[in-house]
Amino acid sequence: MSRSSRPFTVGLVQMRCSTDPDENLRRACEFLREASAKGAQVACLPELFRSQYFCQVEDHANFDLAEPIPGPSTEAISAVARETGMVIVASLFERRAAGIYHNTAVVLDADGSIRGRYRKMHIPDDPLYYEKFYFTPGDLGFLSFETSRANVGTLVCWDQWYPEAARLTALRGADILFYPTAIGWHPAEKAEYGEAQADAWMTMQRAHAIANGVYVAGVNRIGHEGDPAGGIEFWGGTFLADPFGRILAKAGPDTEEILVVECDPKLMETTRRHWPFLRDRRIDAYTPIVERFLS
């Protein structure tokens, strides 16, 4: 049986992040080892797990949190990958050069080698999500990485709202789309909008699974971070959807959890045969999609 048709088991780490980057890295490695012990072969950590979500404010001192790739975090996680024989997706604040920083997902193969990196393409600028201050938009395009366990597609948080990003990553041959995420409620808005916001987040990603016939995983953090009177309450809800959009596993809104789920590429084959969206795409008619707006 070829690697591309073999089932693979996914581990999704939902964790709380402290103000101590070293503690967060240590705990992330512990969670990864636990995921492996539960049978995970491909694991993913939340977005920017090494720190609390610093983009709530525009502060030049926060650039000190960035690191090169390869660097300390990839060195530590690479060791876990080698030790466990597990593919790992890790979201890091990448220092590319002085004044150039990216929000980057690194894929480490089961032998500990860096299989590749994806730099977040869509950069938000919303209240308490001031990412344009910190991150240069990605310049590597939409990618899928062939690893020893599965073809892994990586996107990051705000990318999850864009069908174009999911489609192009799926067209690269991904078996699964991972979305490391840091998303939550503004506490003052939670009562009125919270349920609808979380539902929209999950619905959008389930739609990517259906439209592309792939597995999709959203991997979030939990906990309240920032101003005690405001800040962000991260809503957890880490989940994995199958190629028909069915939720195979879902974490709670406020607990650290590791979800371990088997994914079978044969289901992708079956789903795409019966719902042949990729076959019926009118690629000859989509040129206007590159325009900002069509009046």
Catalytic-role residue among 17, 29, 47, 263: 47
120 given a catalytic annotation: yes
Name the H helices within 246-290. Answer: 265-274
Q: Where are the alpha helices (DSSP H) in the chain?
A: 21-37, 72-84, 163-171, 187-212, 265-274
Q: Is residue 181 within 8 Å of residue 46, measured between CB atoms?
A: yes
Report how far residue 19's alpha carbon sits from residue 172's, in angstroms, rounded to the nearest whole number. 37
Tell me whether residue 38 is one of the annotated catalytic residues. Answer: no
Burial of 98 (0-12, 13-18, 19+ CB in 10 A): exposed
Question: Would you say 54 and 65 are in contact if contact means Cβ atoms under 8 Å apart?
Answer: yes
Which position among 44, 157, 233, 263 bears the catalytic label?
157
47 catalytically annotated:
yes
Catalytic residue among 120, 131, 233, 263: 120
CA distance 167 to 286: 13
Residues carrying an active site annotation: 47, 120, 157
